[in-house]
Amino acid sequence: MPSRRQTKVKKPPILFDRSQRIIAHLERALGTVFLTYWTSPSGSVCDSDVLALYEHCRRQQADRISLFIKSDGGSGQASLRIVNLLRQHTRRLDALVPLECASAATMIALGADEIRMGPLAFLTAVDTSLRHELSPTDIDNELVSVSQDELTRVVRLWEARSKDEGNPYQAIFGHVHPLVVGAVDRASSLSIRLCREILAFHLKDTKAAARISRHLNADYPSHNYPITLREAQRIGLKARPLEPEVNDLLLELNQVYSEMGQKAVTDFDEHNYHNNEIANIVEGRGKLMFFQVDKDWHYRKEERRWDPMNDLSSWHKVERVGKTVRHSTYHVR
């Protein structure tokens, strides 16, 4: 195997000019300020994203912002902070959803006055799964997520089929630590509270907000159940179809981001590799913010797990100043 010094580390492409051309077309088609909030499968909704969005919002007050959301989810509390930030900088917020807008990303969409969904778009349930320090581990010795819905279903099945076999929690606690069960129950209550708070930015009917929040948290058999446009309207969300021209431009923009967010893994040997992948993207007219993972990974055989090393992951900023494009590191701690 070649040594690290002999191996050229792969780097993802930064396609600023291509994405900016599409954003210019989108702003003309929409007649609004346009912002992107995009995460790769390796990224997630997190607190540092709020600072990246603030970099776009801090010098402008828009009458209307159209937010392109594509994400598999992340932190619901970060979602509340994102909605709170955007609502302070615009009178009206529209969510543009051409593809997946799952979990915590669904929460962000709830903060919009209107959700516009394309043919491939879907929201999901927001029931919380939790990866706790005391969670069970999988075959690779990694902590697994535990959800409230899973625990509730185990208890329900036990009570339906094993009425004379004692307390179901005695058996559950043999596999899932009691503190994890308590933490998951608290996280589920938090999820409902977050949805109510986010909806309250534009929905004044508190009973409707509470009903929608409970429904999204508890009424789906799968966390990833796809809530399409028709069902979004049925549960009381203000949603309508995305215009074909806008949908096509958003899918084209997603292709650009997917190329930027492709896997950029450099293998040194069977126990060492470097990951240099773009995970989160926030972009508007003239400015691109992206979070780039930049770290080594080492496999510890005795512990059966991968350990990160030499972590230089950070946010980066690309902006056009006159005719010059500047690239800098955006420090967030």
d(CA 27, CA 117): 17
Q: Residue 1: its pLDDT value, please?
A: 41
> Do 136 and 118 fall within a single domain?
no
Distances (CA, A) of 115 to 35, 106, 157, 228, 260: 15, 10, 37, 11, 26
The answer to the question of residue 9 being in a domain is no
The answer to the question of residue 79 being in a domain is yes
The answer to the question of residue 5 being in a domain is no
Contact 292, 304 (CB under 8 A): no
Mean pLDDT of 274-301: 90
The answer to the question of residue 242 being in a domain is yes
User: What confidence tens digit (pLDDT) does each residue in 223-244 have?
Assistant: 788 999 999 999 999 999 999 9
Q: Which residues of 238-255 are buried (b: 16+ CB within 10 A; e: fewer)?
A: ebeebeeebbebbebbbe
Q: How many domains does the chain have?
A: 2
Residue 280 reports pLDDT greater than 70: yes
> Do 139 and 104 fall within a single domain?
no
Can you read off the two tokens belonging to residue 75?
């932190």
Specify the range with the lowest mean pLDDT, choosing from 36-50, 125-139, 185-199.
125-139
User: What confidence tens digit (pLDDT) does each residue in 315-325 have?
Assistant: 999 998 888 88
What DSSP letter does each residue of 247-291 carry, written as one string?
A: HHHHHHHHHHHHHHTS--EEEEETTEEEE--EEEEEEETTEEEEE
- Which residue in this structure is represented by tokens 């900088």? 89
The answer to the question of residue 8 being in a domain is no
d(CA 316, CA 293): 11
> Do 167 and 200 fall within a single domain?
yes
Residue 120 reports pLDDT greater than 60: yes
Residue 106 reports pLDDT greater than 50: yes
Pairing of strands 265-269, 272-275: antiparallel
User: What confidence tens digit (pLDDT) does each residue in 200-216 have?
Assistant: 999 999 999 999 988 88
Residue that finishes a domain, picked among 166, 184, 219:
219
> Do 93 and 164 fall within a single domain?
no
Residue that finishes a domain, picked among 219, 234, 255:
219
> Do 108 and 225 fall within a single domain?
yes
User: What confidence tens digit (pLDDT) does each residue in 35-88 have?
Assistant: 999 999 888 898 999 999 998 888 778 899 999 999 998 888 899 999 999 999
d(CA 119, CA 233): 14
Q: Residue 137: its pLDDT value, please?
A: 66
Q: Residue 129: its pLDDT value, please?
A: 59
> Do 91 and 226 fall within a single domain?
yes
The answer to the question of residue 11 being in a domain is no
> Do 119 and 136 fall within a single domain?
no
> Do 264 and 206 fall within a single domain?
no
Q: For residue 256, give the CATH number of its domain.
A: 3.90.226
> Do 246 and 158 fall within a single domain?
no
d(CA 123, CA 298): 36
Mean pLDDT of 267-284: 88
Query: CB-based contacts of 289: which residues, under 8 Å, 6+ apart?
Result: 52, 55, 56, 281, 282, 283, 315, 316, 317, 318, 330
The answer to the question of residue 236 being in a domain is yes
Q: Residue 2: its pLDDT value, please?
A: 45
Residue that finishes a domain, picked among 163, 189, 219:
219
Contact 277, 10 (CB under 8 A): no
Q: Residue 143: its pLDDT value, please?
A: 61
> Do 138 and 62 fall within a single domain?
no
Residue 25 reports pLDDT greater than 60: yes
Helices (H) and strands (E) in the chain, counts: 10, 17
d(CA 226, CA 39): 18
The answer to the question of residue 171 being in a domain is yes
Residue 186 reports pLDDT greater than 90: no
> Do 85 and 155 fall within a single domain?
no
Q: How many residues belong to the chain?
A: 333
Angle of the 16-30 helix axis to the 244-260 helix axis, nearest 10? 160
Q: Please tell me the pTM assigned to this model.
A: 0.83
Q: Residue 74: its pLDDT value, please?
A: 85
Q: Residue 38: its pLDDT value, please?
A: 97
- Which residue in this structure is represented by tokens 């913010």? 289
Q: Residue 162: its pLDDT value, please?
A: 60
Residue 252 reports pLDDT greater than 70: yes
Host domain of residue 184: 129-219
User: How many whole angstroms from its chain centre is CA 249?
Assistant: 21
Better pLDDT: 263 or 183: 263
> Do 137 and 80 fall within a single domain?
no
Specify the range with the lowest mean pLDDT, choosing from 60-74, 90-104, 114-128, 300-314.
300-314
